[in-house]
Amino acid sequence: MLRLPSPLVDSNWLNENLHAPELVILDASVAPVVPGYESLNSEASFVAIPGARRFDYDTRICKQDSSLPHMMPEQELFEEEVRKLGINSNSVIVVYDDVGIYASPRAWWMLRAMGHEQVAVLDGGLRAWIDAGLATSDSLETEFPLGDFQAQYAAESFCDFSVVLSALDDPACAILDARSSGRFYGTAPEPRPGIRGGHMPNAQNLPFPELLDGGRMKPVAQLEKIFDELVDGSDRRLITSCGSGLTACILTFAAYLAGHRKLSVYDGSWIEWGAPSKLPVVTD
């Protein structure tokens, strides 16, 4: 039976197990809004890892009645959509995106939050696969039998603004913001109109690129050092945030690799907190 060696796998491992019956490959690509990050695919050109299926958390596997983007859906909708992808309870899932490591950690965290432990992120994503000279396809798989995936939602995996508000002065919690330092301190504009600049009181800035090296995750020892210095090696609950709950999951993924297990993603993130409201914002 196929088992993952780690929550992070490389292209060689994936290629060696490409035809394993339990394997499911998911393309979770989302067009980046962060300057300096670009999708490999476009309307004019598309490539995929052979057998990959589209994990669309922008329009399908998300709350359908929310004004906020790609919010974590209720358990029933998640289970229904994932079954449509042919995913079973015994599936071994590898998620990638076409930037490198950008959107795939959110898909990883969503699946883990719904109780599926055999899921990993492809280190370096589609670009690393292509750089390794491995075979590609010009389309995604769209036909597969209905899966038997059973969701068991761990509600603490995602949190809302009320949880974050109560955590601001809680020494048992640390709030980590994945946005750039300019956005964090309010000196650079937000990419979405009408959103305030700055950050939550007592939040700490950890721009997600600091966890990456050439589109791949930094070695675990380096990640451990980063988090030990940031949160004093404590056993605090780490709440991650970003612009819209996407790159926050890179922080969550890195923290998981570094050994942290008390993890939660603020789903609404700055697009919710920074909107005109009474939620506190500081710039120092």
How far apart CA 197 and CA 181 sit, in angstroms, is: 11
Place of tokens 């603020």: 266
E-strand stretches of 69-128? 92-96, 119-122
Please give the distance of CA 103 from its chain centroid, rounded to a whole number.
5
Tokens of 122: 């492809």
Among positive and negative, which fits the CA dihedral 225, 231, 234, 240? negative
How far apart CA 276 and CA 193 sit, in angstroms, is: 11
Which amino acid would we find at residue 156?
Answer: E
What residues contact residue 82 under an 8 Å CB cut-off, 6+ apart? 61, 111, 114, 147, 149, 151
Helices (H), 220-280: 220-231, 248-257, 269-273
- The torsion angle over the Cα atoms of residues 73, 145, 126 and 178, rounded to 10 degrees, is 10
How far apart CA 33 and CA 36 sit, in angstroms, is: 9
DSSP character at residue 156: G
Would you please indicate which residues are annotated as catalytic (active-site) residues?
Answer: 242
CA angle, residues 116, 121, 123, in degrees to nearest 5 = 165
CA angle, residues 231, 271, 43, in degrees to nearest 5 = 110
